[in-house]
Amino acid sequence: MKKTLIAIPLSITIISCVPQTKYKELEQKYYAALQGESKNKKEIEEKEAELNILRLQYTSLKEQEEALTKKKEDLDKEYENLQLEYTAKLKDLDDLQKKNAEISNEVKSNLEDKEKLLGDLEQTQTQLKEKIKRINELEGLISQQKEAVSGLKEKLQNALKNYEGKGITVEEKGGNVYVSMENKLLFPSASWSVESEGLNALHELAAVLANDKDLNIIIQGHTDSDKYLGNGNIKDNWDLSVMRATSITRALQNEGVSPTQMTASGRGEYLPIADNSTATGKAMNRRVDIIIAPNLDEITKLLNEL
């Protein structure tokens, strides 16, 4: 039987799992067996079987090497993906840290604003309490002033009760007391000299006013719309109203009312209280109003402090 020889390239790379020295040794033995005349067929077959086993081992190891190479490539790819994911997570962490810092700063700022707001609120509450206190004081003063004005009105009405129906009225308007005296009680026609009955009435009036140094007194002269026909330095109704107011002021001063409390003024025919087209209306318009106001300095001071 003819022996078949299988040529094996010597350039085959042996992986580390089969020692190269052993492979060389077997290969040498194989060729020696082929060349040796004394080698029998059985020995050759055994060597061929060993060689086939080695080939199978080599092929298996080669496949394992390829599988491991593929596995390494997959692991490298997975590692690369993990690196990318890790980098992304680091960026997310950095963004979160920045966001947390912003939130912390915002919370700190809000706390500072809250503390400032609480301080402002406390200050406002203190100011509000102080204003409420002053308002209460103001209300108390206003109440006292109202009572004082009502009491003054009553005193004046009692002092002038003998002149009821003779052209004197006493009223309370806008927190002031108005004593209105018609000219028929005070002056002759076109004159500013006070007659005796008028002086008597002013005497009774002054007895009340002279006792209160906190009153502000305005004496206002008024005329009807008829043109003034007198002579001298008086040119018109306006001049006449001023002269009459001044005469009343001097009469009250003579009765003890302080001149520092009084102001004389004239309004002429420009503030009528009745129709000047009738004799009755003209008579009502020819008058002197004595406006008595309480001293409002304390009230004004409190109002300015609010």
56 part of a folded domain:
no
27 part of a folded domain:
no
Would you say 183 and 248 are in contact if contact means Cβ atoms under 8 Å apart?
no
pLDDT of 1:
45
With a cut of 50, say whether residue 16 has pLDDT above it. no
Task: Name the CA dihedral angle for 127, 131, 133, 139, rounded to a multiple of 10 degrees.
Answer: 180
With a cut of 80, say whether residue 134 has pLDDT above it. no
305 part of a folded domain:
no
Total tally of structural domains belonging to the chain: 1
206 part of a folded domain:
yes
Provide the strand spans (E) within the chain: 168-173, 176-182, 215-222, 262-266, 287-294
With a cut of 50, say whether residue 5 has pLDDT above it. no
287 part of a folded domain:
yes
pLDDT of 210:
94
169 part of a folded domain:
yes
CA pair distance 240, 179, nearest whole angstrom: 20
Instruction: Give the CATH number for residue 253.
Output: 3.30.1330.60
* 106-130 average pLDDT score: 82
pLDDT of 77:
86
Instruction: For 185-244, write each residue's pLDDT tens digit.
Output: 999 988 899 999 999 999 999 999 998 888 999 999 999 999 988 777 888 999 999 999
- CA dihedral over 111, 113, 118, 119, signed as positive or negative: positive
Reported as a pLDDT band with limits 50, 70 and 90, residue 301 is low
Among residues of the chain, what percentage have pLDDT more than 90?
39
What domain range is 291 assigned to? 160-295
pLDDT of 33:
63
Would you say 297 and 215 are in contact if contact means Cβ atoms under 8 Å apart?
no
Ranges 51-60, 188-197, 227-236, 255-264, most confident: 255-264
Ranges 37-41, 59-63, 168-172, most confident: 168-172
264 part of a folded domain:
yes
Specify the higher pLDDT residue, 274 or 35: 274
Reported as a pLDDT band with limits 50, 70 and 90, residue 162 is very high
With a cut of 60, say whether residue 18 has pLDDT above it. no
- CA dihedral over 43, 44, 49, 54, signed as positive or negative: positive
DSSP string, 245-281: HHHHHHHHHHTT--GGGEEEEE-TTSS-SS-TTSHHH
Cβ neighbours, 10 Å, residue 237? 22
Q: What is the mean pLDDT of the chain?
A: 84
In this structure, what token pair is assigned to residue 272? 């009528």
Ranges 25-34, 98-107, 236-245, 289-298, most confident: 236-245
pLDDT of 9:
47
Model confidence, pTM: 0.59
By DSSP bridging, strand 262-266 and strand 215-222 are parallel
pLDDT of 8:
44
Comparing 12-16, 164-168, 280-284, the range with the smallest average pLDDT is: 12-16
What one-character DSSP code corresponds to residue 5?
P
38 part of a folded domain:
no
Reported as a pLDDT band with limits 50, 70 and 90, residue 13 is very low
pLDDT of 3:
44
pLDDT of 127:
80
Specify the higher pLDDT residue, 43 or 223: 223
